[in-house]
Amino acid sequence: MKYLILIPDGMADTPVSELGNLTPMQKADKPYMDMLASKSIVGTVSNVPEGMVPESDTANMAILSFDPKIYSKGRSPLEAVSMGIDMQPDETAYRCNVVTLSEDQDNYEDRIILDHSADEISTEEADKLIKTLEEKLGNDMRKFYTGVSYRHCLIWKNSDDKYNFMRPHDILGKRIGDYLPRISDGGEEFLKLMKDSYEILKDHPVNVARKARGLKPANSAWLWSPGKKPALPSFKAKWGLDATVISAVDLIKGIGLCADMESIDVEGATGNVHTNYSGKADAAIDAFKRGKDLVYIHVEAPDECGHRAEIDNKVKSIELIDKNILAPVYEYLRTCDEPFKIMVLPDHPTPICKRTHTMDPVPFFIYSSESEACGCTTFTEETATATNYYVANGFTLMNILTDKKD
């Protein structure tokens, strides 16, 4: 049996007036998702346990069968693993976004956060900024590492791994003073670093050039999601499946590597709508040809479009995932002399109207080439909810997919 798990990150949404009160899933032309859903088990699932933050690390851990309440240590350490950083027990990893703040105010606290991704800055540009931060702010206790696009990592010795930072994508368009680290609760060093980063980056040549091209500057670091070195059980030992993960973002790669899964880097995979969809499909097919039992494809594009309130691009990204990833991998699997199953679901919703993640259950379907079911004519939030099949804990989905007990 071969298994494909496809995660269009943040695909689930709520009705959008500009789409005639349809969701992006309802609007998108996605013939393969709809065709497979019509022959599948269809329902909804909660991947994020009550009381936890609806982040991608928590949700994707759950989909891969790891109870987030047991294993979640924050997303930054997982990203550090993907970057090849060998964290020590006394070190804490922090996500270090390069963000766009308004520049019209005199005080740092009065600035508005305009974009959590600085217009989805290229990795090449961001690398120059992170290297400058390392030169100016790095020392024996802390070190900056370049990640992908706007997502980077800070490793800090003997630092607070429990500090409650605000997620930058939750406060877009708001004055940052109400959400910055507070001196009164031990955030003085974090606040100073973020303020210092603005003074260093605001006139950096990279940002001067970006503004000249009409792009937003990446003029401040924003720290969040601290955590210690992670540890996950081996996915292969747990399920008896040799698995591969394919993603453009360090977080998902880190989860896979921590679980002893193969991680494949696809050239041109960006984490946004302009990614190499076909390259991910080719990598998945190659993994199956090499004997892999399960391939986990994660596509960040719908989530980024939700954060950026890009309505048309969110619809487009769903269509491209269907056409350029699901279709070719399905067509390959059905020509093989081996049964297969396909599970498709977003990890969490990223509604355009909110521009951040929510706790709502997400739609899923599980298709089996051996036992086709009577599912839904279309794969949407509404049709999945109407089946009244609800899975309360996302970490049990693998049991349903494999017909095995944990």
Write out the chain's pLDDT in tens, 406 residues: 999 999 999 999 999 999 999 999 999 999 999 999 999 999 999 999 999 989 899 999 999 999 999 998 778 998 999 899 999 999 999 999 999 999 999 999 999 999 999 999 999 999 999 999 999 999 999 999 999 999 999 999 999 998 999 999 999 999 999 999 999 999 999 999 999 999 999 999 999 999 999 999 999 999 999 999 888 999 999 999 999 999 999 999 999 999 999 999 999 998 899 999 999 999 999 999 999 999 999 999 999 999 999 999 999 999 999 999 999 999 999 999 999 999 999 999 999 999 999 999 999 999 999 999 999 999 999 999 999 999 999 999 999 999 986 4
CA angle 55, 57, 386 (to 5 degrees): 60
Domain count, the chain: 2
Q: Are 195 and 252 in the same domain?
A: no
Q: Are 218 and 292 in the same domain?
A: no
Domain that holds residue 213: 91-227
Cα–Cα distance measured from residue 25 to residue 47, given in angstroms and rounded to the nearest whole number:
19
82 within some domain? no
CB 239 within 8 A of CB 65: yes
Kindly report the CATH number assigned to the domain that includes residue 277. Answer: 3.40.720.10
Cα–Cα distance measured from residue 26 to residue 14, given in angstroms and rounded to the nearest whole number:
10
Residue appearing with tokens 């989860």: 255
78 within some domain? no
Q: Are 57 and 171 in the same domain?
A: no
Q: Are 244 and 386 in the same domain?
A: yes
Other CB atoms within 10 A of residue 350 CB? 28
What pLDDT is recorded for position 75?
A: 81
Q: Are 208 and 346 in the same domain?
A: no
* 238: amino acid identity, one letter: K
What pLDDT is recorded for position 294?
A: 98
Cα–Cα distance measured from residue 75 to residue 162, given in angstroms and rounded to the nearest whole number:
13
CB 41 within 8 A of CB 31: no
Helix (H, G, I), strand (E, B) or coil at 233: coil
Residue appearing with tokens 């010795």: 157
Q: Are 144 and 244 in the same domain?
A: no
Q: Are 336 and 363 in the same domain?
A: yes
203 within some domain? yes
Of the three residues 196, 212, 227, the one that is the final residue of a domain is: 227
Tokens encoding 175 = 């004055």
Q: Are 42 and 138 in the same domain?
A: no
What pLDDT is recorded for position 72?
A: 85
CB 96 within 8 A of CB 154: yes
Of the three residues 227, 242, 275, the one that is the final residue of a domain is: 227
84 within some domain? no
What pLDDT is recorded for position 402?
A: 97
Distance of alpha carbon 230 from its chain centroid, rounded?
17
Cα–Cα distance measured from residue 324 to residue 269, given in angstroms and rounded to the nearest whole number:
13
What pLDDT is recorded for position 405?
A: 61
Q: Are 222 and 291 in the same domain?
A: no
What pLDDT is recorded for position 229?
A: 84
End-to-end alpha carbon distance in the chain: 18
Q: Are 23 and 57 in the same domain?
A: yes
What pLDDT is recorded for position 134?
A: 98
Distance of alpha carbon 376 from its chain centroid, rounded?
27
Of the three residues 227, 254, 277, the one that is the final residue of a domain is: 227
Tokens encoding 382 = 């509404």
